[in-house]
Amino acid sequence: MKLFWQRFKKNRLAVAGGVVVLILFIIAIFASLISPYDPNVIDKKHVLEPPSLKHPFGTDELGRDIMSRVIWGSRISISVGFVAVGIATIIGIILGAISGYYGGWLDSVIMRFVDIMLSIPTFFLILAVIAFLGPSILNIMIIIGLTSWMGVARLVRAEFLTLKEREFVIAARGLGAKDIRIIFGHIMPNSLSPVIVSAILGVASAILVESALSFLGIGVQPPTPSWGNILTSGKDNIEIAWWLSVFPGLSILITVLTYNLVGEGVRDAIDPRLKV
């Protein structure tokens, strides 16, 4: 960990991204304290007001404070991102470990299934499933997770194919260790580095997918604030209320960019080729 931190802190962009990610976490956790207004309170006297001291991000077509809705929207976006990536990571680790460790026909079956999933346009698959099940935060989390595990499975499989023939694994087999102990006790801890990087980058992708679904009206449903459905309101009033598009759009841009910067920094810090 000390060596990792020494390498990570040399990447100033990654450190800056980590600081922004931490700030976003604090905003999401303490949204009820930070938010200046209730995000769902309608105020017909202040409809489509531009940014001001009273409403720093302006108001929407119902007089709701955009700053408050962006703050509460961060909680939705980050929650969807982490839960979806958690589901995808668990599925990918399990299938990738089984495929890489046992090999043979089991490996062929799992990898062909991965190929089939990768051949299907993921976003359109998500659209079809949500149209069938109905839009809700829980459905979005589960569907994004169930359609984004293939990359993790391939990464874990590749690591297992390399590690299962190492001396420490052969020694564990010789001592009579069972497969499940070898998989989760010996090989898995040594194969998680690329998975961690993939998970960090996956959060950014999941946030983008959730925002796109909400923008199309089949994601998080109003009046629950989400960066995507705030952008929908901005699209309808783009000619007279630029702030409805700019502030949630910047929120998505900054969040996705910072997670990508952190992911790149973590990847560089744990890359074995850099350890000379």
pLDDT tens readout for residues 91-142: 999 999 999 999 889 999 999 999 999 888 888 888 888 888 877 888 888 9
**Per-residue model confidence (pLDDT) at position 154:** 93
**How far is residue 208's CA from residue 214's CA, in Å, rounded to a whole number?**
10
Amino acid at 238: I
Q: Is the pLDDT of residue 230 over 50?
A: yes
Where exactly are the structural domains of the chain?
A: 18-23+68-270
What angle do the packed helices 66-102 and 150-163 form, to 10 degrees?
40
Q: Is the pLDDT of residue 220 over 80?
A: yes
Which three-class secondary structure string do you get for the chain? CHHHHHHHCCCHHHHHHHHHHHHHHHHHHCHHHHCCCCCCCCCHHHCCCCCCCCCCCCECCCCCEHHHHHHHHHHHHHHHHHHHHHHHHHHHHHHHHHHHHHCHHHHHHHHHHHHHHHHCCHHHHHHHHHHHHCCCHHHHHHHHHHCCCHHHHHHHHHHHHHHCCCHHHHHHHHCCCCHHHHHHHHHHHHCCHHHHHHHHHHHHHHHHHHHHHHHHCCCCCCCCCCHHHHHHHHHHCCCCCCHHHHHHHHHHHHHHHHHHHHHHHHHHHHCHHHCC
Q: Is the pLDDT of residue 271 over 70?
A: no
Segment 259-265 mean pLDDT: 91
**Per-residue model confidence (pLDDT) at position 275:** 47
Please list, residue by residue across 57-66, b when 16 or more beta carbons sit within 10 angstroms of its beta carbon and e when fewer do.
bbbbebbbbb
Contact 234, 250 (CB under 8 A): no
**The domain over range 18-23+68-270 is classified in CATH as 3.40.30.10:** no
Q: Closest by alpha carbon to 60, among 191, 245, 206? A: 245
Q: Is the pLDDT of residue 233 over 70?
A: yes
Query: What average pLDDT is seen over the chain?
Result: 88
**How far is residue 166's CA from residue 187's CA, in Å, rounded to a whole number?**
9
**How far is residue 83's CA from residue 89's CA, in Å, rounded to a whole number?**
10
Q: Is the pLDDT of residue 181 over 50?
A: yes
